[in-house]
Structure 1
Amino acid sequence: MSKVKYYYDSETLSYKKIERKKGRRLGIAALSVLGTFLAGFILLVIYLNIPQLETPKERALARELENMKLQYNLLNRKMEQVENVLANVEDRDNNIYRLYFEASPIPEEQRLAGFGGVNRYKDLEGFDNSKLIMDSHKKLDMLTKRLVVQSRSLDEIVALAEDKENLLASIPAIMPVKNEDLKRMASGYGWRTDPFTKIRKFHYGMDFTAPRGTPVYATGDGVVERADNKSSGYGNHIRIEHGFGYVSLYAHLYKYNVRRGQKVQRGDLIGFVGSTGRSQAPHLHYEIFKDDEKINPINFYYGHLSPAEYDEILEQSQLENQSLD
C-alpha cells in the first residue's frame, strides 16, 4: 500500500494531500525504462569493445588459440629446415650418386609435382586461421611425396652400387700370368704372321711365353663355363663366364686346376701353362669376349700393372711379329 503524502499550505495554514497526476507517473516510468535500456546498451558496447572484459572461459580459449598458432608457426619452420636438408640430398642424388652410376637424374618437376584432382584441403577452409593450417598441411604432404621419390631413388642407387661392385669384381682386370713369371709377351691382338702357314692373319688374343707348368690365374670373378680340349686349336683350355657380357679364355694349358661349373675369384689358380693344341711352344693364349665379340685384352690390365709396366706391355703387344698359335 503506497504512503499518502501531504504538503503545508501557508495560505490556509493547513496540510493538504498531494494528488499525483497519472501522466506524470507514466512519464517517470517511461524514463526509467529508457534509462535502464540505455544503461544496458552502453554496458554492452563497453563489454564488446574492451578486451579486458573477458570471461575465464574465453581467456582460456584465446590462450589455446594463440598457442596453436605458435605451434603451427614452429612446425612450418621445422618443415622449412627439413626441406633444405632434403633439397641438398636431392641435389647430391642427381649430380653425384646417379651421375656416378650412369643413371638418369630425376627431373625437378617429378620431385616437386603437386596433387591434382579434388581439393584435398576443403575441410580446412572457413576458419580464422585456415590459411596457416592449410599451408602446413600442404608443406607436409609435399615433403612426404618428395621423401617417397627420394627413398625410391636411393633404393635404385643401392641396387646400382651392388651391380657396380659386382661388375668391378667380375671384369677381367689383371694379367693371367704374373709379370715376373713371363719370359716375354710374344704376340698381341691384331694382324700377325701364322707360325704354321706363314700367312698374315688376325690374332684375336695375347700370347704370354712362360715355362711349362707356370701358374695361370683367373682375371676376374666368375663361373668356369668350360675346362676341356674340345675346341679346335685351343688344346686344353678354360672359359670363365664373368657376367655382364664378359668371358675370358685361357688356351694351350698343360693341365687344369678347376672344373666346369666351379665359381672362381680374381687371382684364383685355375691351370698351368702348356703347349697343347695348335701351339708352337709353351705359352698362354689369352682372349676376352664382350657380348660375344673378341676384344683387345690389353685394355684390361689396369688392376695389375704399374704405369711403366703397362707401357712396356703395350709397346710389345703392338709389334707385328709372328704369333705362337
Structure 2
Amino acid sequence: MTKVKYYYDPDTLSYRKIEPKKSKKIRNILLFSAGSILSGFLGLLLLLNVNILNTPKELSLQREVKNYELQFEILDRKMQQMDEVLANIEERDNNIYRIYFEANPIPEEQRRAGFGGVNRYKSLEGFNNSDMIIETTKRMEIIQKQMVIQSRSLDEITKLAAEKEKLLASIPAIQPVNNAELTRMASGFGWRSDPFTKARKMHWGMDFTAPRGTPIYATGDGKITRADNRASGYGKHIRIEHGYGYMTIYAHLSRYNVKRGQEVRRGDLIGFVGSTGRSEAPHLHYEVWKDGERINPINFYYGSLTAEEFENMLKYASQENQSLD
C-alpha cells in the first residue's frame, strides 16, 4: 500500500495531503508494468532452459527415455554374450565336427557377412538416438544370420554323423569265422603256391580252415547280391554289397542261410563252411573289395580281435605257403 504524504500549510495552520501528479502516476504504472513483463519473460526463459520445474508429462517422458537407454544397455550385453557363445560353437563346428566328418569349414567371411544394397535402416533415422538404434539393429540382424548359418551347418553335421554311423557299420570289420571254431588261418593275401598246379600264384583273399558246417558271419551291414555257385572256382558263395565302395565274398560254402536281395547286419549268420568249387579241403575263402579292387582283408579285423590275436594272424598271413583254393 502506497504511503500517504502530507505537508504543513502555514496559511491554514494545518497539514494537507500531497496529491501526486497525474503524469507521474501514469509513469509509475508503466514502469511497474514493464518491470513485471520483463521479470515474467526472464523467469519463463529460466524455466524453459533450466530443468528446475518439469511437468508430469515431461517427467514421465524422461523416465521412459532412461528406461529405453537401460534396456539398450542390457540388450547390448546380451548380444555380446550371444557373440561369445556363437564364436565358441563356430570354432568347434569348423575345427572339430567338420574335420571329423571330412567336410569343408565354413569361411569366416560367409559367417560375418553383413547386408549390402539399399539402406535397410532409413526408417530408423532422424531420432535422438538413431545411431545407437541403427547399430543395435545391425548387430541383431548379423547375429540372426550367423545363427541361421550355424543351424544349417549343424543340420549338415547331423546328416554327416548319420552317414558316418552307417559307414562305420557297413565297413567289413570283424572276422567271418569265430576264433573258437577256427582250426587255423591257412593262407593270407599275396603270392602263394597253388594247391593244384603248385605254381606261384596271387591269392586274392584269406583262407580260414574250419570243420564243415562251421557258421560264417557277415562282416558288415549290407545287402546280399549273390548266393549261388555260378562263379568259376568259388563254388557255393555269397556276395555282400556294403555300400561306400565295399563288397565282400565268402566262398566254398556247404550251404546258405540267406538269399539274394536280403539285408543283413554285421554278425548275422549267412552260411556254413564247406569245400565246394575249386577247393582242396573244408575252409572259407574270404575277400574284401574296395572300389572294384581286391584288398588285403587283414586290415579289417579291428572289430573282433585282440592285439595278441591280430599279431598271430598277421604272422600266419605273411607266410608264403600253399593256399587251399
| TM-score, L = length of structure 1 | 0.92
Q: Distance in 2 between matches of 1:67 and 1:298?
A: 72
Deviations 1:90-112 (A, max 9, x none): 11111211121111111222111
Any residues of structure 2 matched to 1:13-52 within 5 Å, and which?
Answer: 13=12, 20=21, 24=24, 27-28=27-28, 30-52=30-52
Distance 1:51 1:267 in 2: 86
Partners of 2:171 and 2:255 in 1: how far apart?
24
Q: Tell me by how many angstroms 1:271 deviates.
A: 0.5
Partner of 1:303: 303
1:1-325 matches, cutoff 5 A = 10=9, 13=12, 20=21, 24=24, 27-28=27-28, 30-325=30-325
User: Any idea what SS the aligned residue of 1:226 has?
Assistant: strand
Q: Secondary structure at the match of 2:117?
A: coil
Alpha-carbon distance in 2 for matches of 1:266, 1:19: 127
Cα RMSD of the aligned pairs, angstroms, is: 2.1
SS at structure 2 position matched to 1:43: helix
Counterpart AA for 1:260: R
Task: Give how far 1:277 is off.
Answer: 0.7
Letter in 1 for 2:69: K
| Partner-residue secondary structure (3-state), 2:211 | coil
**Aligned pairs, number:** 320
Stretch of structure 1 that moved more, 129-138 or 281-290: 129-138
* Offset, 1:33: 4.1
Deviates more, 1:124-133 or 1:277-286: 124-133
**Is there any run of 5+ residues in structure 1 with no aligned partner, and where?**
none
State the AA in 2 paired with 1:311.
Answer: E
> For residues 53-104 of structure 1, what are the alpha-carbon distances to aligned partners after superposition, in whole Å with 9 as ceiling and x for unaligned?
1011100110111111111111111121122112111111112111211111
CA 1:30–1:19 in 2, change beyond 3 Å: closer, same or farther?
Answer: closer
- Higher alpha-carbon deviation: 104-113 or 151-160: 104-113
Separation in structure 2 between the aligned mates of residue 197 and residue 270 of structure 1, nearest angstrom: 31
Aligned-pair CA distance for 1:244? 1.1
* Alpha-carbon distance in structure 1 between the residues aligned to 2:57 and 2:17: 60
Task: Tell me the SS of whatever aligns to 1:147.
Answer: helix
Shift of 1:119: 2.1
4+ runs of 1 displaced by more than 2 Å? 5-22, 24-34
Alpha-carbon spacing, 1:64–1:221, altered in 2? closer, same or farther (3 Å): same
CA–CA separation in structure 2 for the residues paired with 1:131 and 1:157: 39
Q: Which moved more, 1:31-40 or 1:80-89?
A: 31-40
Cα deviation for residue 207 of structure 1 reads 0.8
After TM superposition, give the deviation of residue 9 of structure 1 in Å: 8.2
TM-score of the aligned structures, taking structure 2 as reference length: 0.92
